[in-house]
Amino acid sequence: MDKLIITAAICGAEVTKDQNPNVPYTIQEIAMEAESAYQAGASIIHLHVREDDGTPTQSRERFKTAIDAIRKRCPDVIIQPSTGGAVGMTDLERLQPTEVAEPSVGLDHPEMATLDCGTCNFGGDEVFVNSDKTIEAFGRIMIQRNVKPEIEVFDKGMIDTAIKMFSKGVILSPMHFDLVMGVQINATARDLAFMVHSLPSGATWSVAGIGRHQIPMAALAIVMGGHARVGFEDNLYIAKGTLAASNGELVSKVIRIANELGRPWLLQPRPGKS
C-alpha cells in the first residue's frame, strides 16, 4: 500500500468560533493551525480563508497572505486552496486562489486545488452549485495553470461526472478524488466501498467523513489503501462531547490509528522531499 497521506482541512467556510473557539479566522490563527497539523503529520493543507471576523472570502490577496504565512511555518507542505469557497459565491470569486504564485518555492500557481464535481444540498436551504459548465471551466483553467485537481465528490453521480469530464479532456489522469461522506451520501462502510469501487482505474482517493464520521472514515481509508482528510472544516470534536483543541490533535489521532494498524504514513510528499 502507498504511504498514507493526511490532508488537514483546517478552517472551512461554514464552521464558526461559536461552535469551537479554536476555529481559525485571522491569518495568524490560520498559519498556527496549519503548523499544528503539519507538525502532527499532515502533508496537505486544504485551505479556505476568512476575514478577521470569520466571513469566508476567496480574495486572491487574502489567500496570498495566508499562503505566505503558512509557508514560513511549513516549508514542505502542499497547500491546496479551495475553489469551492462558500455557498453563493460566483465562479470568478471562487477561482481567485488558483492565481496565487509562491516564487519562494518556485510555484507560479498552487500545486493543487479542489474541483467540485456536482451540485448538492448543504443543509437548510443552502445549495452548493456546480453546473457542468462550471466544472468544465474550472477543469480547463486548472490544466492551463498546472494545478492538480483534487476532485471533490459528494455522491457516486459526481464520480460519473468526473469520468465524463476526463473523456472531454477537462480532467487529466491520474485522477485524485476526495470522497466526502456524510453530506449527501451516507458515511457508512458500505457506501464508502461503493464509492471506491466506482472510481476509474488508477485513481487515488482520500476520504473526508463529516462530523462524528471523520475518524471512522479515516480508519477505513487506512485499511483500504486510501488517504485521509481530517480537520475543523468537517469535524470539530476529538471525541464525543469534547471539542478538538487544534487540527493537530485530529491529525495525531489518525497517525496513532495508522501506527496501530501498521500503515506507514508520508509527511512531505513534494518531489524530492519524501
Name the binder of 152 from ligand KMH, Zn ion, none, CB < 5-8 A by kind: ligand KMH
Question: Minimum distance between the CB of residue 201 and Zn ion, rounded to whole angstroms?
Answer: 27
Reduced to 3 states (helix: H, G, I; strand: E, B; else coil), residue 4 is: strand
Alpha helices in 91-242 (DSSP H): 91-95, 132-144, 156-167, 189-197, 214-224
Which CB sits closer to ligand KMH, 114 or 214? 114
Q: Residue 63 touches which of Zn ion, ligand KMH, none (CB < 5 to 8 A by kind)?
A: none
For the beta carbon of residue 201, count every other beta carbon within 10 angstroms.
7
Residues that bind ligand KMH (CB under 6 A): 13-14, 82-84, 86-87, 114, 116, 122, 128, 152
Minimal distance, residue 9 CB to ligand KMH, in Å: 8
22/119 with CB nearer ligand KMH = 119
| C-beta contacts of 137-140 below 8 A and 24+ residues apart | 137/91, 138/83, 138/91, 138/94, 138/95, 139/115, 139/165, 139/170, 139/171, 140/170
**Least CB distance from residue 131 to ligand KMH, whole Å?**
14
Nearer to ligand KMH, 128 or 232 (CB): 128
In contact, 47 and 81? CB cutoff 8 Å: yes
Q: Applying CB under 5 A, does 82 fall inside the site for Zn ion?
A: yes
- State phi, psi for 91 to the nearest 5 degrees: -60, -40
Residue with the shortest CB distance to ligand KMH: 84
